[in-house]
Amino acid sequence: MFTLNTLSRFLDSLEEGVLFLDRERRVVAINEAASALLGRARDEVLRRPCPGIFADTACARACEARGHCTLSQAHASARQLQDISLTRPDGLAVHLRMWSLLLPPNQADLYSAIILRDRSREVELEGEVRERLRLGGIVGHSPVMQTLYEKILRAATSDATVLVMGESGTGKELVARALHDNSPRSSGPYIAVHCAALPENLLEAELFGHARGAFTGAATARAGRFEAAHGGTLLLDEIGEIPPSIQVKLLRVLQEREIVRLGENHARAIDVRVIAATHRDLAAMVQRGEFREDLYYRLRVLPLEVPALRQRREDIAMLATRLLEDVAQNYQRPPPELAHETVLQLEACDWPGNVRQLANAIEYALVHCDGERILPRHLPPDIAGDAVLSAVPAPGKAGLTRYYRAPINDADEWTRIRQTLRATGGNKAEAARRLGMSRTTLWKRLRENARRQR
């Protein structure tokens, strides 16, 4: 058994910041490194709730919503890392990596430890790398996005075909552009073709070109997009929409590295790096006979999966701020501040339309905001309002979660609480999270309802 006194001798010798918490998540002890990182004297931190010290970070918001530390793990090998950006009282912005460990029983009644590591220089270098490596408009510091960046930069060095997969609105086009911009072909042309936008006869001519008189209206010969992209990169967006006849010709182009224009009978050599993108499940389409299996594997040499926005909620605040700055610039006005409760609303949504839907919501809010702060009421009606947040299965889509908001009403609220508790098997912490309220608030509602039932 250890005590706080036995720890105090070497706590201040550690390079990492350490905060010890009790079961109520109050800070019981803090070392010099943590005090320096947070820019606060020890007396300012001791006995304060942990979420208050890290206020306005994704970690604190998750902690407040769930009623417990979401990072705490019993074993170091299972630790969950959380990267946060924090503005200290002196105005200095710091970037920290944090994780938490549950402590064994001890005389000091310490429940868990929060470990902090300064990554401000790392973030600064990341910014320099982003500028140098031209990752364009792709935004996000979450672990899944860091993994995506690594894969993009690795794939960019190759000339192999890349298949970029992801839901609509996730930014697959940005990924394709980043692949080109960081490749040896970056000085060559970058050509994008939206395969779903053209009917079959026009798509064939658009891709492969045509000779004069090849069809009605072909008054002159014209090179196709493959020839236009010679020496560079061709993006075939929504590749899952191309008809079988063009799938056959595309397969031949990828195999032979040559094209034949419509109305001609001789081949033309091409030097093109092909990137395909789709929001559809091509593997399932292959199983149904809707997409050629040989073409699928020819395209999927280097697969890249772009995560949905709901899979990287910790990026939403930063992404929303970046989008707000861009939209405000287009409207030639200074960007208003995103209120804390607005960020909570944005982070709670599932965003089926992903970044594109978020961008539209931000523009809507900017248009309807006449002050210096964007409040929840400025958001689109399906996202905001005087409302209670709840999560229920989307109709007809078991397993998918859709968030909705309804005006607060005692009877309606209790119905939502009851349904959510049933859906979570009585897990009150998870129910509170889905309802968008603290665990304390949920207990209060349950007690109030119990009193009414007596």
Of 9 and 163, more confident: 163
What's the mean pLDDT in 199-228? 84
Among candidates 185, 192, 158, 175, which has minimal Cα distance to 304? 175
pLDDT digits (tens, 9 = 90+) for 68-80: 776 665 454 456 6
- The identity of residue 239, as a single letter, is I
Residue whose C-alpha is closest to residue 273's, from 195, 187, 158, 159: 159
Euclidean distance between CA atoms 267 and 274, whole angstroms = 18
Q: Which residues contact 129 (CB under 8 A, 6 or more apart)?
A: none
Do 364 and 327 meet the contact criterion of CB atoms below 8 Å apart? no
- Chain-centroid distance, C-alpha 376: 21
pLDDT of residue 73: 54
State how beta strands 162-165 and 258-259 pair. unpaired
Higher pLDDT pick, 435 / 312 = 312
Backbone φ, ψ for residue 239 (5° rounding): -65, -25
Non-local CB neighbours of 414 within 8 Å, separated by 6+ positions: 445, 449
Q: How confident is the model at residue 357 (pLDDT cuts 50, 70, 90)?
A: very high
- How does residue 156 score in pLDDT terms, banded at 50, 70 and 90? very high
Whole-angstrom Cα distance, residue 341 to residue 345? Answer: 6
Per the prediction, the chain carries an average pLDDT of 82
**pLDDT > 90 fraction of the chain, expressed in percent and rounded:** 37
Q: Six-digit token pair at 409?
A: 């009403």
CB atoms closer than 10 angstroms to residue 325: 12
SS3 18: strand
Q: Is the pLDDT of residue 127 over 70?
A: no
| Calpha distance 405→41 (Å, rounded) | 42
Q: Which tens digits make up the pLDDT trace of 365-402?
A: 999 998 888 999 999 988 864 333 433 333 333 333 33
The tens digit of pLDDT for each residue in 389-398 reads: 433 333 333 3
pLDDT at 253 > cutoff 80: yes
* Tokens describing residue 296: 């699928």
Q: Which residue, chain included where needed, has tokens 């009193």? A: 451
Residue 394 to residues 47, 353, 391, 409, Cα–Cα distance (Å): 43, 15, 9, 22
CA angle 290, 293, 294 (to 5 degrees): 135
Question: CA–CA separation, 421 vs 9, rounded Å?
Answer: 47
Cα Rg of the chain (Å, integer): 27
Q: Tell me the pLDDT tens digit for each residue of 265-281.
A: 889 999 999 999 999 99
Of 26-30, 128-132, 240-244, least confident by mean pLDDT is 128-132
Q: How confident is the model at residue 108 (pLDDT cuts 50, 70, 90)?
A: low
What domains sit in the chain, N to C, each tagged with a CATH number?
Answer: 4-123 (3.30.450.20), 138-305 (3.40.50.300), 310-378 (1.10.8.60), 389-453 (1.10.10.60)
- The pLDDT of 146-163, averaged and rounded, is 93
Who contacts 62 (Cβ-Cβ below 8 Å, separation ≥6)?
Answer: 70
Note the pLDDT of residue 38: 93
Task: Look at residue 408 in the predicted model and tell me its pLDDT.
Answer: 37
Residue 123: in which H helix or E strand, if any?
helix 120-133
Structure-block tokens of residue 342: 């607005």
pTM of the model: 0.61
Of 97, 95, 89, the C-alpha closest to 116 is: 97
What one-character DSSP code corresponds to residue 70?
Answer: S
- The pLDDT assigned to 363 comes to 94
CB hemisphere CA count around 325 (13 angstroms): 6
Backbone angles phi, psi at 54, to 5 degrees: -105, 35
Structure tokens at 353: 């339309």
- Confidence check: pLDDT of 166 > 90: yes
Tabulate helix, strand, coil % of the chain (nearest 5): 45, 20, 35
